[in-house]
């Protein structure tokens, strides 16, 4: 397996509020990397830095051998970095089909017409086909989450960033989304997957990265990370004896 | 929740095209059989509908709420005057020049304006328009505060300006439809609904908005030229007045923001109302107050405007820029699981 992306000593801040501090890790091609950490650890900020919404003030991000640290989000998307949002951001006044068509046309740089069939196929795999001509603003949360994945998938990503796909869903709905994630894993797309609730995803990741106060706390095999002393401490607090 | 009409669009297409063709035929032949007043009214409607289409392109489809459309009206009008008075260019060429100068200004300003969003963009466009009038009234060969006559426009018949107005009406509507049905249009819709998600889905935000501003400024500049050809005299404070944008907002809001037919209905209503009200009342500004009250009433009772409300009720669009899925799903394999 080769390295698809290297995050090299990045520092990122919102104004004066420093969120990422000297964070480094590699992502292997085809791997599912889980990212966990308590509230405020910098998980979503890391996503923003990778997809280009926030430019790190120090450090480098190298994707497929290319330094993308300062590229715009749309250029990164065309290079093959797709993302979903924790709170779904559908194009509400467009139909579900148009949402996915947009990703398929712009994310790959193809003409609209040439992307339409792909868009319809992705709607089918994500279980949204029957809702294709509905306005995206009328969807339920579960279907909005599906649409996030569908739109990102339509951009034909090599690296897919999943930001808390399970958050806010009922247990039954979480199982439905997990089926979709299992499908994504089968396609061989490299995935970075954030989740606040560890148990949702721990079993299905190849590696787990635990962040705390914007830096790497533990990295390794999921079971080792989950049972490490550091993770127990940040999630449960220090046991005072 | 709205279930939109999906297929069998082609069935209604024939009737739609015949209807549009009939309207165009009536418009083109009007000066031959219509009265002078009717020709003037329709001429004004053409101008105001086109103005509305261009504001709607920015605000209704791209989320760029401009309060500075009067800048392009004034620049377009003065360009026609300068090119025909000083350079001796024919008026149609002057109109194109007016569009190009407006577009050049929009491109220049875009690097500042497109860094702003929402209200900031709105205020900045207004500010630039106000700054522009101060520049124009300080230049000697633009007639300072007195303005300029478009000398060549004195020889024009009412019917001549009428045809310019109809041309700009048709061109502006067709350009909006073509632009919105293109890939750029899809990108603009996405930016309007959620600019962050649009960017991370591959839409180049700056470039898409710039195209939109270029089209809008060019055509609005031409509109300014056509209108002041009918007036002959350009008074700078009137040409650069915010009331141009107020009219555009009124037209689009009562007609239906984000629809193609909205500005058409809105423009017709606006011209009728403003003509009728200005003859009705002795106090000139009373008509403005009444227009304001009507706009507020529409916003409260039917926020989607006349066309938007009718479309929602009947699930039907006269001119649609939607991409329906129907024709692509026929070729898909049957789903493997229920």
Q: Which residue has the tokens 């439905």?
A: A176
**DSSP type of residue B142:** G
> Which class for B84: exposed (0-12), middle (13-18), buried (19 or more C-beta within 10 A)?
buried
Residue B262 is assigned to a structural domain of this protein: no
Distance from CA of A190 to the nearest CA of B (A): 17
pLDDT band at B71 (very low <50, low <70, confident <90, very high): very high
Distance from CA of A27 to the nearest CA of B (A): 20
The CA distance from A188 to A42, in Å, is 27
Distance from CA of A80 to the nearest CA of B (A): 10
The CA distance from B198 to A106, in Å, is 9
How much is the average pLDDT of B160-185? 95
Which chain B residues contact residue A82 at CB under 8 A?
Answer: 200
Nearest alpha carbon to residue B102 among B188, B206, B225, B241: B225
Query: Which pLDDT score, from 0 to 100, does residue B6 have?
Result: 44
Residue B84 is assigned to a structural domain of this protein: yes
Chain segment A168-196, per-residue pLDDT in tens: 888 889 888 888 888 898 898 999 999 87
- Quick one: closest CA in B to A124, which residue? B335
pTM of the model: 0.88
Residue A216 has pLDDT above 80, yes or no: yes
Of A77, A89, A133, the CB nearest to B6: A133
Residue B8 has pLDDT above 50, yes or no: no
**DSSP type of residue B138:** T
Q: In what helix (H) or strand (E) does residue B195 lie, and over which residues does it extend?
A: helix B195-200
Q: Tally the domains of chain B.
A: 1
Cβ within 8 Å, pair A107-B193: no
Cβ within 8 Å, pair A93-B3: no
Residue B8 is assigned to a structural domain of this protein: no
Residue B128 is assigned to a structural domain of this protein: yes
The CA distance from B178 to B186, in Å, is 11
Residue B13 is assigned to a structural domain of this protein: no
Asked if A129 and B329 touch (Cβ cutoff 8 Å), the reply is yes
What is the C-alpha R_g of chain B? 21
Residue B209 is assigned to a structural domain of this protein: yes
Residue B231 is assigned to a structural domain of this protein: yes
How much is the average pLDDT of A92-105? 95
Q: In what helix (H) or strand (E) does residue B149 lie, and over which residues does it extend?
A: strand B148-149
Query: Which pLDDT score, from 0 to 100, does residue B73 have?
Result: 97
Residue B49 is assigned to a structural domain of this protein: yes
Mean pLDDT across chain B:
88
The CA distance from A210 to B246, in Å, is 55
Residue A43 has pLDDT above 70, yes or no: yes
Q: What is the dihedral of CA B91, B92, B97, B103, to 10 degrees?
A: 130
Interface test with B, best of A107, A133, A150, A183 (most B CBs within 10 A): A133
Which chain A residues contact residue B331 at CB under 8 A?
Answer: 117
Hey, what are B336's tokens? Answer: 């493997």
Asked if A139 and A90 touch (Cβ cutoff 8 Å), the reply is yes
Distance from CA of B334 to the nearest CA of A (A): 9
Asked if A86 and A39 touch (Cβ cutoff 8 Å), the reply is no
Cβ within 8 Å, pair A72-B204: yes
The CA distance from A111 to A104, in Å, is 9
Asked if B240 and B133 touch (Cβ cutoff 8 Å), the reply is yes
Hey, what are B227's tokens? Answer: 């209108």
Range of the domain at B184: 34-242
Hey, what are B39's tokens? Answer: 């020709």
Q: Is A220 helix (H, G, I), strand (E, B) or coil?
A: strand
State how far Cα B82 lies from the chain centre: 24
Q: Which residue has the tokens 């205020």?
A: B123
Beta strands in chain A (DSSP E): 3-14, 17-28, 32-36, 58-63, 66-67, 81-83, 159-163, 190-194, 207-212, 215-220
């Amino acid at each position: 397996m080769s390295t698809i992306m290297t995050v090299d000593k990045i520092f990122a801040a919102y104004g004066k509020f420093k969120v990422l501090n000297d964070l480094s890790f590699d992502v292997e091609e085809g791997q599912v990397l889980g990212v966990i950490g308590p509230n405020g650890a910098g998980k979503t900020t890391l996503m923003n830095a990778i997809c280009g919404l926030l430019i790190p003030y120090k450090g480098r991000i190298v994707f497929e051998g290319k330094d993308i640290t300062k590229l715009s989000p749309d250029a990164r998307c065309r290079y093959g970095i797709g993302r979903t949002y924790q709170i779904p951001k559908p194009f509400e006044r467009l139909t579900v089909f148009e949402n996915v068509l947009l990703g398929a046309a712009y994310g790959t740089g193809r003409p609209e017409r040439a992307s339409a069939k792909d868009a319809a196929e992705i709607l089918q795999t994500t279980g949204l086909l029957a809702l294709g001509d509905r306005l995206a603003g009328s969807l339920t949360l579960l279907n909005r989450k599906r649409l996030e994945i569908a739109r990102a998938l339509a951009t034909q990503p090599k690296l897919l960033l999943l930001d808390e796909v399970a958050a806010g869903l009922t247990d039954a709905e979480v199982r439905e989304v997990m089926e979709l994630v299992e499908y994504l894993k089968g396609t061989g797309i490299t995935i970075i997957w954030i989740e606040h609730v560890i148990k949702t995803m721990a079993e299905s990741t190849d590696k787990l990265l635990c962040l705390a106060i914007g830096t790497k706390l533990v990295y390794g095999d999921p079971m080792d990370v989950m049972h490490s002393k550091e993770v127990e401490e940040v999630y449960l607090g220090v046991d005072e004896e | 929740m709205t279930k939109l009409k999906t297929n069998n669009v082609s069935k209604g297409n024939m009737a739609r095209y015949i209807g549009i063709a009939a309207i165009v035929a009536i418009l083109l032949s009007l000066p031959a059989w219509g009265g002078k007043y009717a020709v003037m009214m329709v001429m004004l409607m053409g101008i105001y509908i086109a103005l509305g289409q261009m504001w709607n392109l920015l605000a209704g489809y791209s989320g760029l709420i401009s309060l500075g459309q009067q800048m392009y009206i004034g620049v377009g009008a003065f360009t026609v005057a300068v090119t025909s008075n000083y350079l001796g260019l024919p008026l149609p060429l002057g109109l194109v020049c007016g569009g190009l100068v407006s577009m050049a200004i929009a491109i220049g300003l875009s690097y500042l304006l497109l860094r702003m969003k929402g209200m900031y963009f709105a205020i900045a466009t207004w500010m630039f328009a106000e700054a522009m009038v101060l520049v124009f009234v300080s230049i000697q060969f633009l007639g300072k505060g007195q303005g300029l006559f478009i000398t060549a426009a004195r020889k024009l018949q009412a019917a001549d300006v009428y045809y310019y107005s109809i041309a700009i009406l048709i061109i502006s509507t067709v350009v909006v439809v073509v632009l919105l049905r293109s890939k750029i249009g899809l990108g603009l819709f996405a930016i309007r609904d959620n600019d962050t998600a649009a960017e991370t889905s591959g839409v180049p935000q700056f470039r898409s908005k710039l195209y939109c501003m270029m089209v809008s400024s060019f055509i609005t500049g031409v509109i300014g030229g056509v209108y002041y050809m009918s007036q002959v005299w350009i008074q700078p404070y009137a040409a650069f007045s915010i009331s141009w944008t107020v009219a555009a907002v009124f037209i689009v809001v009562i007609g239906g923001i984000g629809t193609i037919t909205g500005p058409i209905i809105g423009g017709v209503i606006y011209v009728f109302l403003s003509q009728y009200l200005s003859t009705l009342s002795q106090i000139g500004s009373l008509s403005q107050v009444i227009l304001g009250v009507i706009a507020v009433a529409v916003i409260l009772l039917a926020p989607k405007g006349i066309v938007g409300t009718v479309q929602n009720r009947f699930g039907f669009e006269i001119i649609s820029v939607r991409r329906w899925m129907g024709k692509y799903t026929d070729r898909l394999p049957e789903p493997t699981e229920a």
